[in-house]
Amino acid sequence: MVSATTPRLVTPLTLRLASGDYVIDPPVVLAPMAGITNAPFRTLAREQGAGLFISEMVTARALIERRPETLRMILPGKGEWPRSVQLYSVDPHVMKAAVTMIGKENLADHIDMNFGCPVPKVTRKGGGAALPYKRRLFNLIVAAAVDAAKPFGIPVTVKMRIGIDSDHQTYLEAAKSAADLGVNWVALHARTAAQMYEGKSDWDAISRLVDHLKPTGVPVLGNGDIWSGADGVAMVEQTRCAGVVVGRGCLGRPWLFKDLAAAFAGDESRHLPTLFEVREVMFRHAQLIVEYFESEERGCRDLRKHMAWYLKGFRVPSELRRQFGMVSSLQELRSLLDQLVDQPYPEAIGESPRGRTSHGRPVTLPDGWLRDPDELVELELEDAFSGG
């Protein structure tokens, strides 16, 4: 158990915001995940102890075009502060316009930039994890965001992967450039884009990045394969990173943040809920998501994808599982939840990998993308989709 003399394993991070300094304690960040980290899920993560909670990725173009769904995606939950938005763009002018809009209209307190998305609809435009390979373009986009954010006191951070594939690793050079341009931290998902979500993440790459950025004073956050509080502690101890970013590990398990907070405080006991405790988190999530979408039907439809994650490892009759996957109202959900039989948390299965399990594959890139990293290219503007 933790005591007054138990040493802290990590030092809190501080974001200097226009609205006041925000101490990220514990330095545990909810990763932006398309279709997942909307305001209801961020509220759950905050209630469970996450230090910072970032919106789903939105494209800069969709934002400046004021697409209604994009504007909804960056709306904060009740009492949410700071408001963190992740932006994606392949054009420095569009990125500058989006950041300026955020600053002038006071839409966010912190901006994270996506240079890690590996999905084809993003990389085929030269975005996400593909973009750092074009180092001049990468520098222009980061500089545009940092410079546009500065007058409004908005800190900018970046999240990236190791590179396109094992033959085209970009993280060391790109992270150093971003640090020199004034970002507040670099978060590294320790896989290449070609790996997608396959295999183990390379925590040694996080260690190398920590050493590489040490002269700059810019912190490194680690991301990849954090399924428990013990995993978070292990990553910090092995890599000396300043904090962790949690993605798939919290799907259907927002209490992972409570487990991480306790582990970082030196508490060796586990914080794992019984099925009856899980069912109340599920209903809380449902209430939040229905309120967010202002529609019980749409809210429950969006909630369905979370059901299997919440119930993973528990003994639930197959017919009941099927009904959870088709839930259409809060009343129906409550009825299904009340049919569950309480049981301990299934630690062995519940803490196994979840979420995206895409196998590795060649990265889809624009024609001639790998020809010259210093070549300035004119890219087809990103579609005004939100997410990726």
- Tens digits of per-residue pLDDT, 69-124? 999 999 999 999 999 999 999 999 999 999 999 999 999 999 999 999 999 999 99
CATH number at residue 302: 1.10.1200
Among positive and negative, which fits the CA dihedral 259, 51, 32, 164?
Answer: negative
Q: Rounded to two decimals, what is the model's pTM?
A: 0.92
List of residues 6+ apart from 171 with CB closer than 8 A = 132, 160, 161, 162, 163, 188, 205, 209
- Mean pLDDT over the full length of the chain: 92
Residues 118 and 61 in one domain: yes
Q: How far is CA 275 from CA 194, 284, 315, 328, 358, in A?
A: 37, 14, 10, 21, 29
Higher-confidence residue of 19 and 139: namely 139
Residues 153 and 292 in one domain: no
Q: How many domains does the chain have?
A: 2
Q: In the predicted model, is pLDDT for residue 382 greater than 90?
A: no
CATH number at residue 94: 3.20.20.70
Band of residue 162 on the pLDDT scale cut at 50, 70, 90:
very high
Q: For residue range 129-159, what is the model confidence (pLDDT) as tens digits?
A: 999 999 999 999 999 999 999 999 999 999 9
Residue 38, domain member (yes or no)? yes
The CB density around residue 113, as the number of other CB atoms within 10 Å, is 26
Q: What are phi and psi of 154, to 5 degrees?
A: -100, 115
Average pLDDT over residues 278-285: 97
Q: Which of 117, 241, 250, 300 is catalytic?
A: 117
Q: Which amino acid is at 4?
A: A
Indicate if 250 belongs to the active site.
no
Residue 126, domain member (yes or no)? yes
Domain residue limits at 297: 275-344
